[in-house]
Amino acid sequence: MLQSWRRLYSTALKATPSKIHLHKPIPSDNFPKGFRLTGLHCGVKKSPSALDLAVIVSDAPSDRTSAAACFTENAFRAAPVLVSEEILAGNKRARALVVNSGCANAVTGQKGLDHAWAMSSAVDALLDPPAEKQTMVMSTGVIGQHLPIDKILSGIKTGATDLGDNFEAWERAAKAFMTTDTFPKLRARTFDLDGKKVRIAGMDKGAGMIHPRMGPPKSSLHATLLGFVATDALISPPALQSALTHAVQRSFNSISVDGDMSTNDTIIVIANGASGMTEPIEDGTPAFSKFQDELTDFCAEIAKLIVRDGEGARKFVTVSVEGASTYEDASKVASTISTSMLVKTALYGEDANWGRILASAGSVSDSLSKPLDPSRVSVSFIPAATLSDTTPLKLLTRGEPETVDEERAKVILSEEDLEIKVELGIGNESAVYWTCDLSHEYVSINGDYRS
């Protein structure tokens, strides 16, 4: 009976639109100079066609290289997180990264730590010249299982003979990050800085277990999210960490698929100075402000790809909160709305049940620096730019409900993209979160994840 119900249930699912169109070729000249990388199958995943190991190295001298990272604040931090934290704490000029997918190496005890260090040391030995503690580590996949470390170490040796710097090499590395992702998330761009052309490229992965809260190593700030950003800018290690912390708070820490924080969430940036810049960027300078803005915008671009590829997701939803007393207050309200199961299921059902939005926002009022005043709050749906009528649909204006055109609301909610705008009417600060709907398919994917 149960199997029969599942068959009937599966036929009722809405087909999730393909996301492969979001993966596009990138001109090789847009990728940062001085990086070589590859992706390959080493045997962590069952399918021989599934890439599961990436190796990324910077060939620039270590004295021109800076590294920075933000890590998960989950109490059960995975072995690769602990190892990468230790490496970065002792060496702000790490210049390589090794990543496996298919096994998270999380909650794996001392053996897991030994395996993560073995991966780091194996890549260190391949650097020119060989080094110690210059390779950071990422892992993603099933929690509580040990890595097939012999296969990974063999794969690292194989990968060292196939490192490249063109689009195909970057694409292979991005594919090796993937677990339940449906497309490789890879982007690159250029910008001018101090008279030099600077390049920035990045890849990330994530589709489920997405609600990051990451901060710098040893900081009290706040499926798995992994991200790597490379740039050929010349920047000091403290300035790079400061820029990344700012960028992550406004990008990766502002997305949610299902409200679950992973044990492995990690964002790493390596800057190798290969652009030709002569003086390193320092915090507090005009060049730093320009770099920080570019990095933040770039991180937001690749973070949004994770939401678009959310497990079972059909909607990409921007939650904008304006008129808050502080950025932190605006972000907390936006986060609460973005993680509400009732809001997310209404979005999936294309139901303009805006009372759920208000209920979510109101649930955190007492924790804000200034509590909400219901008589000042307004809520609107902002239609996708693809619609002929992009006039905001007002749902609530300063605490008074509007007479809602349900047919127009249905049209707005039927689009893949939409925005929920909440105006608090208290202050001048704002924040944005990006989220998705919650579908039957999400349950199916995560009910069978280990199989």
Cα–Cα distances (Å) from 225 to 11, 324, 416, in that order, read 31, 28, 23
The DSSP symbol for 368 reads S
Q: Residue 20: is its pLDDT beyond 80?
A: no
Domain limits, CATH 3.10.20.340, in the chain: 316-447
- Is there a binding annotation on residue 419? no
Mean predicted confidence (pLDDT) in 413-441: 95
Topology at the third CATH level for domain 316-447:
Ubiquitin-like (UB roll) (3.10.20)
Place 221 in a pLDDT band, splitting at 50, 70 and 90. very low
**132 assigned to a ligand binding site:** no
Answer yes or no: are the C-beta atoms of 17 and 188 closer than 8 Å.
Answer: no
Q: Per the annotation, does 345 bind a ligand? A: no
Answer yes or no: is 444 a known binding residue. Answer: no
> pLDDT class for 219, splitting at 50, 70, 90?
very low
Burial class (CB within 10 angstroms; exposed 0-12, middle 13-18, buried 19+) of 444:
middle
Report the length, in residues, of the chain.
451
What pLDDT sits at residue 19?
A: 67
What CA–CA distance (Å, rounded) separates 80 from 99? Answer: 9
Strand runs labelled E in 272-331: 316-324
- Among candidate residues 16, 224, 263, 296, the one labeled active-site is 224
Where do the CATH 3.60.70.12 domains begin and end in the chain? 20-308
Which CATH architecture best describes the domain 20-308?
4-Layer Sandwich (3.60)
Tell me the per-residue pLDDT of 166-189, one tens digit each, with 9 for 90 and over.
999 999 999 999 987 889 999 999
Q: What is the arithmetic mean of pLDDT over 108-136?
A: 96
Can you give the pLDDT at residue 338? 94
- Please report the pLDDT score of residue 419 as a whole number: 98
Q: Any known ligand binding at 282?
A: no
Which pLDDT band, with edges at 50, 70 and 90, does 3 fall under?
very low
pTM, entire model? 0.88
What single string gives the DSSP state of each residue in 193-260? ETTEEEEEEEEEE-SSS----EESTT-S-----EEEEEE---B-HHHHHHHHHHHHHTTGGGB-SSS-
158 marked ligand binding residue? no
Which secondary structure element, helix H or strand E, spans residue 39, and what is its range? Answer: strand 35-40
Split at pLDDT 50, 70, 90, the class of 217 is low
| Nearest CA-CA partner of 250 in 345, 323, 327 | 327
Q: How far is CA 427 from CA 254, 374, 392, in A?
A: 20, 14, 22
- Please give the DSSP secondary-structure letter assigned to residue 121: H
Residue with the larger pLDDT of the pair 274 and 62: 274
Whose tokens are 């029969």? That residue is: 4
Average pLDDT over residues 210-232: 64
Does 266 participate in catalysis according to the annotation? no
The residues facing 102 across adjacent strands are: 141
Longest Cα–Cα distance in the chain: 71
Residue 12's pLDDT band, with cuts at 50, 70 and 90, is very low
State the chain's mean pLDDT as an integer. 90
Strands (E), 306-403: 316-324, 378-382, 393-397, 400-401
What digits encode the pLDDT tens for the residues 146-162? 999 999 999 999 999 99
CA-wise closest residue to 190 among 233, 226, 227, 242? 233
> What Rg, from alpha-carbon coordinates, does the chain have?
22
Residue 268: pLDDT over 60: yes
Top-confidence residue, 206 or 48: 48
Q: Which of 312, 325, 329 is nearest to 437 (CA)?
A: 312
